[in-house]
Structure 1
Amino acid sequence: MARAPIGRQQLLDAARAELVRGNGVIELGALTRSAGLSTGALYHHFGSKSGLLVAIYDAFYDGLAHAVGDAHLPADADWPTRERERTGRFVAYHFADPLAPILLNRTAPDSQLTELEAAYIHAMSDNAAENIRGGQRSGQLPSHVDPDSAGAYLIGGLRHGIAQQLRATPTPTPDEATERLWRLIAATLGIE
Protein backbone atom coordinates (compact mmCIF):
# COMPACT_ATOMS: atom_id res chain seq x y z
CA MET A 1 0.00 0.00 0.00
CA ALA A 2 1.40 3.38 -1.00
CA ARG A 3 1.97 5.93 1.73
CA ALA A 4 -0.05 9.11 1.64
CA PRO A 5 1.93 12.24 0.81
CA ILE A 6 3.33 14.02 3.83
CA GLY A 7 0.70 16.35 5.21
CA ARG A 8 -2.30 14.54 3.77
CA GLN A 9 -2.38 11.85 6.44
CA GLN A 10 -1.63 14.43 9.14
CA LEU A 11 -4.69 16.38 8.05
CA LEU A 12 -6.86 13.24 7.91
CA ASP A 13 -5.79 12.16 11.39
CA ALA A 14 -6.25 15.64 12.81
CA ALA A 15 -9.64 16.03 11.10
CA ARG A 16 -10.90 12.72 12.49
CA ALA A 17 -9.78 13.77 15.98
CA GLU A 18 -11.38 17.21 15.54
CA LEU A 19 -14.67 15.66 14.38
CA VAL A 20 -14.74 13.44 17.45
CA ARG A 21 -13.74 16.27 19.80
CA GLY A 22 -16.28 18.64 18.20
CA ASN A 23 -19.06 16.03 18.07
CA GLY A 24 -19.26 16.25 14.30
CA VAL A 25 -18.29 19.89 13.92
CA ILE A 26 -14.92 20.79 12.45
CA GLU A 27 -13.31 24.24 12.55
CA LEU A 28 -10.60 24.70 9.95
CA GLY A 29 -8.35 26.96 12.02
CA ALA A 30 -8.24 24.50 14.93
CA LEU A 31 -7.71 21.65 12.48
CA THR A 32 -4.74 23.19 10.68
CA ARG A 33 -3.18 24.22 14.01
CA SER A 34 -3.52 20.70 15.45
CA ALA A 35 -2.13 19.18 12.24
CA GLY A 36 0.72 21.68 12.16
CA LEU A 37 -0.09 22.51 8.53
CA SER A 38 -1.49 25.50 6.69
CA THR A 39 -5.00 25.93 5.33
CA GLY A 40 -3.32 25.91 1.93
CA ALA A 41 -2.19 22.33 2.59
CA LEU A 42 -5.80 21.34 3.25
CA TYR A 43 -6.90 22.82 -0.07
CA HIS A 44 -3.89 21.33 -1.85
CA HIS A 45 -4.63 17.79 -0.65
CA PHE A 46 -8.44 17.81 -0.56
CA GLY A 47 -9.65 20.79 -2.59
CA SER A 48 -12.09 21.89 0.10
CA LYS A 49 -13.40 21.14 3.54
CA SER A 50 -15.99 18.90 1.89
CA GLY A 51 -13.21 17.02 0.09
CA LEU A 52 -11.52 16.40 3.42
CA LEU A 53 -14.75 15.13 4.96
CA VAL A 54 -15.36 12.88 1.93
CA ALA A 55 -11.91 11.34 2.45
CA ILE A 56 -12.78 10.66 6.11
CA TYR A 57 -16.14 9.09 5.23
CA ASP A 58 -14.51 7.02 2.47
CA ALA A 59 -11.89 5.71 4.89
CA PHE A 60 -14.55 4.81 7.46
CA TYR A 61 -16.74 2.91 5.00
CA ASP A 62 -13.80 1.28 3.22
CA GLY A 63 -12.58 0.06 6.62
CA LEU A 64 -16.05 -1.28 7.40
CA ALA A 65 -16.22 -3.15 4.09
CA HIS A 66 -12.82 -4.67 4.79
CA ALA A 67 -13.75 -5.64 8.37
CA VAL A 68 -16.89 -7.52 7.33
CA GLY A 69 -15.54 -8.94 4.07
CA ASP A 70 -15.77 -12.62 3.27
CA ALA A 71 -12.00 -13.05 3.67
CA HIS A 72 -12.45 -12.67 7.46
CA LEU A 73 -15.31 -15.16 7.77
CA PRO A 74 -15.33 -18.94 8.07
CA ALA A 75 -15.73 -20.18 4.48
CA ASP A 76 -16.95 -23.63 5.48
CA ALA A 77 -19.60 -22.47 7.98
CA ASP A 78 -23.34 -22.58 7.35
CA TRP A 79 -25.09 -19.33 6.40
CA PRO A 80 -26.34 -18.41 9.89
CA THR A 81 -22.98 -19.08 11.55
CA ARG A 82 -21.08 -17.07 8.96
CA GLU A 83 -23.54 -14.16 9.03
CA ARG A 84 -23.62 -14.03 12.80
CA GLU A 85 -19.84 -13.64 12.65
CA ARG A 86 -20.24 -10.89 10.03
CA THR A 87 -22.76 -9.14 12.29
CA GLY A 88 -20.28 -9.33 15.17
CA ARG A 89 -17.56 -7.81 13.02
CA PHE A 90 -19.95 -5.06 11.84
CA VAL A 91 -20.82 -4.21 15.45
CA ALA A 92 -17.22 -4.43 16.69
CA TYR A 93 -16.01 -2.10 13.93
CA HIS A 94 -18.51 0.57 14.96
CA PHE A 95 -17.85 0.12 18.68
CA ALA A 96 -14.08 0.46 18.13
CA ASP A 97 -14.18 3.64 16.06
CA PRO A 98 -14.90 6.85 18.02
CA LEU A 99 -16.15 8.44 14.80
CA ALA A 100 -18.97 5.87 14.42
CA PRO A 101 -21.42 7.44 16.91
CA ILE A 102 -21.08 10.74 15.09
CA LEU A 103 -21.62 9.21 11.65
CA LEU A 104 -24.57 7.14 12.86
CA ASN A 105 -26.30 9.79 14.98
CA ARG A 106 -25.82 12.98 12.99
CA THR A 107 -26.93 14.11 9.58
CA ALA A 108 -24.01 14.61 7.22
CA PRO A 109 -23.02 18.29 7.31
CA ASP A 110 -23.22 18.86 3.56
CA SER A 111 -25.00 17.51 0.50
CA GLN A 112 -21.89 15.84 -0.95
CA LEU A 113 -21.52 13.77 2.23
CA THR A 114 -25.21 12.96 2.31
CA GLU A 115 -24.97 11.59 -1.23
CA LEU A 116 -21.80 9.65 -0.40
CA GLU A 117 -23.33 8.11 2.70
CA ALA A 118 -26.47 7.19 0.77
CA ALA A 119 -24.33 5.47 -1.87
CA TYR A 120 -22.51 3.43 0.79
CA ILE A 121 -25.78 2.44 2.46
CA HIS A 122 -27.26 1.50 -0.91
CA ALA A 123 -24.19 -0.65 -1.71
CA MET A 124 -24.34 -2.36 1.70
CA SER A 125 -28.06 -3.04 1.20
CA ASP A 126 -27.40 -4.50 -2.26
CA ASN A 127 -24.64 -6.71 -0.84
CA ALA A 128 -26.93 -7.87 1.94
CA ALA A 129 -29.66 -8.70 -0.60
CA GLU A 130 -27.25 -10.74 -2.70
CA ASN A 131 -26.04 -12.50 0.42
CA ILE A 132 -29.64 -13.37 1.35
CA ARG A 133 -30.20 -14.70 -2.17
CA GLY A 134 -27.18 -16.95 -1.66
CA GLY A 135 -28.67 -18.24 1.58
CA GLN A 136 -31.93 -18.93 -0.24
CA ARG A 137 -30.17 -20.73 -3.11
CA SER A 138 -28.41 -22.97 -0.59
CA GLY A 139 -31.73 -23.71 1.12
CA GLN A 140 -30.61 -22.16 4.42
CA LEU A 141 -33.05 -19.23 4.26
CA PRO A 142 -36.77 -19.29 3.49
CA SER A 143 -37.64 -18.51 -0.12
CA HIS A 144 -40.60 -16.28 0.81
CA VAL A 145 -38.29 -13.53 2.14
CA ASP A 146 -37.81 -10.71 -0.40
CA PRO A 147 -33.99 -10.28 -0.51
CA ASP A 148 -34.00 -6.64 -1.60
CA SER A 149 -36.43 -5.48 1.08
CA ALA A 150 -34.77 -7.63 3.73
CA GLY A 151 -31.29 -6.39 2.79
CA ALA A 152 -32.34 -2.74 3.08
CA TYR A 153 -34.25 -3.44 6.29
CA LEU A 154 -31.33 -5.26 7.89
CA ILE A 155 -28.69 -2.66 6.98
CA GLY A 156 -30.92 0.19 8.18
CA GLY A 157 -31.79 -1.76 11.30
CA LEU A 158 -28.16 -2.59 12.04
CA ARG A 159 -27.08 1.02 11.66
CA HIS A 160 -29.86 2.39 13.85
CA GLY A 161 -29.55 -0.51 16.28
CA ILE A 162 -25.83 0.07 16.71
CA ALA A 163 -26.42 3.81 17.15
CA GLN A 164 -28.98 3.05 19.86
CA GLN A 165 -26.63 0.59 21.57
CA LEU A 166 -23.83 3.17 21.55
CA ARG A 167 -26.17 5.71 23.22
CA ALA A 168 -27.38 3.23 25.87
CA THR A 169 -26.36 3.66 29.49
CA PRO A 170 -24.54 1.60 30.41
CA THR A 171 -23.11 0.92 26.98
CA PRO A 172 -23.26 -2.81 26.25
CA THR A 173 -20.18 -4.71 25.18
CA PRO A 174 -19.85 -5.41 21.46
CA ASP A 175 -20.73 -9.06 22.18
CA GLU A 176 -23.91 -8.07 24.03
CA ALA A 177 -24.90 -5.67 21.23
CA THR A 178 -24.17 -8.33 18.61
CA GLU A 179 -26.35 -10.87 20.40
CA ARG A 180 -29.24 -8.40 20.67
CA LEU A 181 -29.01 -7.40 17.02
CA TRP A 182 -28.45 -10.94 15.75
CA ARG A 183 -31.69 -12.11 17.42
CA LEU A 184 -33.53 -9.43 15.43
CA ILE A 185 -31.78 -10.40 12.19
CA ALA A 186 -32.52 -14.08 12.72
CA ALA A 187 -36.19 -13.34 13.44
CA THR A 188 -36.46 -11.15 10.34
CA LEU A 189 -35.00 -13.86 8.12
CA GLY A 190 -36.83 -16.78 9.73
CA ILE A 191 -33.69 -18.40 11.13
CA GLU A 192 -34.28 -20.58 14.15
Structure 2
Amino acid sequence: MADLSPKALKTRAGLLDAARSELLEQGGGLEVGRVAERAGVSVGLIYRYFNSRAGLLAAVAEDFYDRYQEQVMAADPLPDAADWSSREEQRTRRAVDFVYAEPLAPLVLVSLAREPEVAALEAQRTAENVRQGADNIRRGQAAGQLNAGLDPELVSAMILGGMHQALLEALARPQRPVADHLARQLWHFIRGALAPL
Protein backbone atom coordinates (compact mmCIF):
# COMPACT_ATOMS: atom_id res chain seq x y z
CA MET A 1 0.00 0.00 0.00
CA ALA A 2 3.03 2.27 -0.03
CA ASP A 3 2.16 3.20 -3.62
CA LEU A 4 -1.24 4.65 -2.62
CA SER A 5 -1.61 8.40 -2.29
CA PRO A 6 -2.69 9.89 1.06
CA LYS A 7 -6.19 10.40 -0.40
CA ALA A 8 -6.34 6.78 -1.59
CA LEU A 9 -5.13 5.53 1.81
CA LYS A 10 -7.89 7.55 3.47
CA THR A 11 -10.48 6.14 1.07
CA ARG A 12 -9.25 2.60 1.69
CA ALA A 13 -9.38 3.13 5.47
CA GLY A 14 -12.95 4.41 5.15
CA LEU A 15 -13.94 1.31 3.20
CA LEU A 16 -12.40 -0.91 5.87
CA ASP A 17 -14.30 1.00 8.57
CA ALA A 18 -17.53 0.50 6.65
CA ALA A 19 -16.79 -3.21 6.20
CA ARG A 20 -16.02 -3.64 9.91
CA SER A 21 -19.28 -1.90 10.85
CA GLU A 22 -21.22 -4.07 8.43
CA LEU A 23 -19.63 -7.26 9.74
CA LEU A 24 -20.44 -6.34 13.32
CA GLU A 25 -24.01 -5.29 12.51
CA GLN A 26 -24.67 -8.41 10.43
CA GLY A 27 -22.93 -10.87 12.78
CA GLY A 28 -20.26 -11.74 10.26
CA GLY A 29 -22.29 -11.28 7.09
CA LEU A 30 -20.99 -8.92 4.45
CA GLU A 31 -22.54 -7.74 1.20
CA VAL A 32 -20.35 -5.51 -0.93
CA GLY A 33 -23.33 -3.37 -1.97
CA ARG A 34 -24.21 -2.60 1.64
CA VAL A 35 -20.60 -1.72 2.44
CA ALA A 36 -20.52 0.65 -0.53
CA GLU A 37 -23.78 2.23 0.58
CA ARG A 38 -22.50 2.61 4.12
CA ALA A 39 -19.29 4.22 2.83
CA GLY A 40 -21.13 6.42 0.35
CA VAL A 41 -19.21 5.11 -2.66
CA SER A 42 -19.85 2.95 -5.69
CA VAL A 43 -19.50 -0.82 -5.56
CA GLY A 44 -16.84 -0.51 -8.25
CA LEU A 45 -14.61 1.45 -5.91
CA ILE A 46 -14.56 -1.45 -3.47
CA TYR A 47 -13.53 -3.82 -6.24
CA ARG A 48 -10.86 -1.34 -7.33
CA TYR A 49 -9.25 -1.43 -3.88
CA PHE A 50 -9.91 -5.04 -2.85
CA ASN A 51 -10.65 -6.96 -6.10
CA SER A 52 -13.44 -9.04 -4.55
CA ARG A 53 -15.62 -9.59 -1.50
CA ALA A 54 -13.03 -12.15 -0.34
CA GLY A 55 -10.30 -9.54 -0.76
CA LEU A 56 -12.26 -7.10 1.39
CA LEU A 57 -12.74 -9.72 4.11
CA ALA A 58 -9.03 -10.58 4.00
CA ALA A 59 -8.15 -6.87 4.32
CA VAL A 60 -10.35 -6.56 7.41
CA ALA A 61 -8.66 -9.62 8.93
CA GLU A 62 -5.22 -8.34 7.96
CA ASP A 63 -5.91 -5.05 9.75
CA PHE A 64 -6.95 -7.04 12.84
CA TYR A 65 -3.73 -9.10 12.74
CA ASP A 66 -1.61 -6.00 12.11
CA ARG A 67 -2.99 -4.38 15.25
CA TYR A 68 -2.51 -7.59 17.25
CA GLN A 69 1.09 -7.76 16.03
CA GLU A 70 1.73 -4.15 16.99
CA GLN A 71 0.05 -4.23 20.41
CA VAL A 72 0.94 -7.76 21.55
CA MET A 73 3.62 -9.62 19.63
CA ALA A 74 6.01 -6.79 18.69
CA ALA A 75 5.45 -4.64 21.77
CA ASP A 76 7.72 -4.88 24.79
CA PRO A 77 5.29 -4.72 27.72
CA LEU A 78 8.07 -4.22 30.29
CA PRO A 79 11.00 -2.55 28.49
CA ASP A 80 13.06 -2.16 31.67
CA ALA A 81 12.50 -5.69 32.99
CA ALA A 82 15.48 -8.02 32.98
CA ASP A 83 13.26 -10.98 33.87
CA TRP A 84 12.00 -12.83 30.78
CA SER A 85 9.06 -14.38 32.63
CA SER A 86 7.72 -11.08 33.99
CA ARG A 87 7.74 -9.54 30.53
CA GLU A 88 6.06 -12.53 28.89
CA GLU A 89 3.42 -12.77 31.59
CA GLN A 90 2.51 -9.17 30.76
CA ARG A 91 2.44 -10.04 27.05
CA THR A 92 -0.03 -12.83 27.82
CA ARG A 93 -2.25 -10.34 29.63
CA ARG A 94 -2.00 -7.99 26.65
CA ALA A 95 -3.12 -10.77 24.32
CA VAL A 96 -6.22 -11.46 26.41
CA ASP A 97 -6.98 -7.75 26.80
CA PHE A 98 -6.63 -7.16 23.05
CA VAL A 99 -8.92 -10.03 22.08
CA TYR A 100 -11.51 -9.13 24.72
CA ALA A 101 -11.53 -5.45 23.74
CA GLU A 102 -11.65 -6.08 19.99
CA PRO A 103 -15.27 -6.38 18.79
CA LEU A 104 -14.17 -8.17 15.61
CA ALA A 105 -12.16 -10.87 17.43
CA PRO A 106 -14.98 -13.46 17.55
CA LEU A 107 -15.66 -12.91 13.86
CA VAL A 108 -12.05 -12.89 12.63
CA LEU A 109 -11.01 -15.86 14.75
CA VAL A 110 -14.14 -17.97 14.18
CA SER A 111 -16.58 -16.98 11.42
CA LEU A 112 -14.25 -15.29 8.94
CA ALA A 113 -11.54 -17.91 9.48
CA ARG A 114 -13.68 -20.24 7.33
CA GLU A 115 -13.15 -17.98 4.31
CA PRO A 116 -10.21 -19.37 2.27
CA GLU A 117 -8.46 -15.98 1.92
CA VAL A 118 -8.76 -15.29 5.64
CA ALA A 119 -7.64 -18.83 6.52
CA ALA A 120 -4.56 -18.40 4.31
CA LEU A 121 -3.77 -15.08 5.97
CA GLU A 122 -4.22 -16.62 9.44
CA ALA A 123 -1.89 -19.49 8.54
CA GLN A 124 0.75 -17.02 7.34
CA ARG A 125 0.45 -14.88 10.47
CA THR A 126 0.54 -17.94 12.72
CA ALA A 127 3.77 -19.11 11.06
CA GLU A 128 5.27 -15.63 11.57
CA ASN A 129 4.18 -15.59 15.22
CA VAL A 130 5.67 -19.05 15.80
CA ARG A 131 9.00 -17.78 14.42
CA GLN A 132 8.78 -14.65 16.59
CA GLY A 133 7.92 -16.73 19.64
CA ALA A 134 10.82 -19.10 18.94
CA ASP A 135 13.23 -16.16 18.69
CA ASN A 136 11.85 -14.87 21.98
CA ILE A 137 12.36 -18.26 23.64
CA ARG A 138 15.93 -18.33 22.33
CA ARG A 139 16.56 -14.95 23.97
CA GLY A 140 15.31 -16.38 27.26
CA GLN A 141 17.58 -19.40 26.81
CA ALA A 142 20.59 -17.20 25.96
CA ALA A 143 19.94 -15.18 29.12
CA GLY A 144 19.93 -18.40 31.14
CA GLN A 145 16.29 -17.89 32.16
CA LEU A 146 14.80 -20.77 30.12
CA ASN A 147 15.87 -24.38 29.80
CA ALA A 148 18.36 -24.75 26.95
CA GLY A 149 16.98 -28.20 26.12
CA LEU A 150 13.66 -26.84 24.86
CA ASP A 151 13.00 -26.81 21.10
CA PRO A 152 12.04 -23.15 20.55
CA GLU A 153 9.91 -23.69 17.43
CA LEU A 154 7.95 -26.62 18.87
CA VAL A 155 7.38 -24.90 22.21
CA SER A 156 6.36 -21.66 20.50
CA ALA A 157 3.87 -23.55 18.30
CA MET A 158 2.44 -25.37 21.34
CA ILE A 159 2.03 -22.17 23.31
CA LEU A 160 0.45 -20.19 20.48
CA GLY A 161 -1.84 -23.07 19.54
CA GLY A 162 -2.97 -23.52 23.13
CA MET A 163 -3.54 -19.79 23.57
CA HIS A 164 -5.52 -19.63 20.34
CA GLN A 165 -7.80 -22.48 21.35
CA ALA A 166 -8.29 -21.10 24.87
CA LEU A 167 -9.21 -17.68 23.48
CA LEU A 168 -11.66 -19.27 21.02
CA GLU A 169 -13.27 -21.18 23.90
CA ALA A 170 -13.52 -18.03 26.02
CA LEU A 171 -15.03 -15.99 23.17
CA ALA A 172 -17.59 -18.70 22.38
CA ARG A 173 -19.01 -18.83 25.89
CA PRO A 174 -22.22 -16.95 26.67
CA GLN A 175 -20.38 -15.44 29.63
CA ARG A 176 -16.67 -14.98 29.06
CA PRO A 177 -14.23 -15.83 31.85
CA VAL A 178 -12.92 -12.75 33.64
CA ALA A 179 -9.95 -11.48 31.61
CA ASP A 180 -7.54 -11.50 34.55
CA HIS A 181 -8.51 -15.06 35.46
CA LEU A 182 -8.06 -16.24 31.86
CA ALA A 183 -4.68 -14.49 31.61
CA ARG A 184 -3.50 -16.14 34.84
CA GLN A 185 -4.60 -19.59 33.62
CA LEU A 186 -2.91 -19.04 30.27
CA TRP A 187 0.30 -17.96 31.95
CA HIS A 188 0.19 -21.08 34.17
CA PHE A 189 -0.11 -23.17 31.00
CA ILE A 190 2.76 -21.31 29.32
CA ARG A 191 5.04 -21.67 32.32
CA GLY A 192 4.34 -25.42 32.23
CA ALA A 193 5.29 -25.56 28.56
CA LEU A 194 8.56 -23.81 29.38
CA ALA A 195 9.44 -26.02 32.36
CA PRO A 196 12.54 -28.22 32.22
CA LEU A 197 11.96 -31.53 30.48
Q: When the two structures are superposed, what TM-score results if normalisation uses the length of structure 2?
A: 0.87
For these two proteins, the number of residue pairs brought into alignment is 191
Aligned to 1:26: 30
Cα drift, residue 149 of structure 1: 0.7
In 2, the alpha carbon distance for the partners of 1:159 and 1:118 equals 12
Identity among equivalent positions (%) equals: 36
My pick for the range that moved more, 134-143 or 28-37, is 28-37
1:84 partner SS: helix
Paired with 2:170 and 2:57, the residues of 1 have a C-alpha distance of 25
Give the structure 1 partner of residue 90 of structure 2: 85
| 2:145 paired with 1:140 | yes
- The corresponding residue for 2:194 is 189
CA contact (8 A) 1:10 1:35 kept: yes
8 Å contact 1:145–1:189 — kept in the other structure? Answer: yes
User: Is 1:7–1:41's contact at 8 Å kept on the other side of the alignment?
Assistant: no
Which sits farther off after the overlay, 32-41 or 81-90? Answer: 32-41
State which drifts further: 157-166 or 104-113: 104-113
C-alpha contact (below 8 Å) 1:73/1:82 kept by paired residues: yes
Question: Which residue in 1 is equivalent to 2:41?
Answer: 37
Structure 1, gaps ≥5 residues long: none
Confirm or deny: 8 A CA contact 1:7 1:37 kept in the other structure: no
- 2:28/2:107 contact within 8 Å kept: yes
The 3 A distance-change label for structure 1 pair 166 and 108 is closer
Equivalent residue for 2:51? 47
**Which amino acid in structure 2 is aligned with residue 74 of structure 1?**
P
Q: Does 1:163 align with 2:168?
A: yes
Counterpart among 129, 132, 136 of residue 124 in structure 1: 129
TM-score, with length taken from structure 1: 0.89
Moved more, 84-93 or 29-38: 29-38
Say whether residues 1:15 and 2:14 are aligned partners: no
**Structure 2 unaligned runs (5+)?**
none
Query: How far did residue 98 of structure 1 move?
Result: 0.9
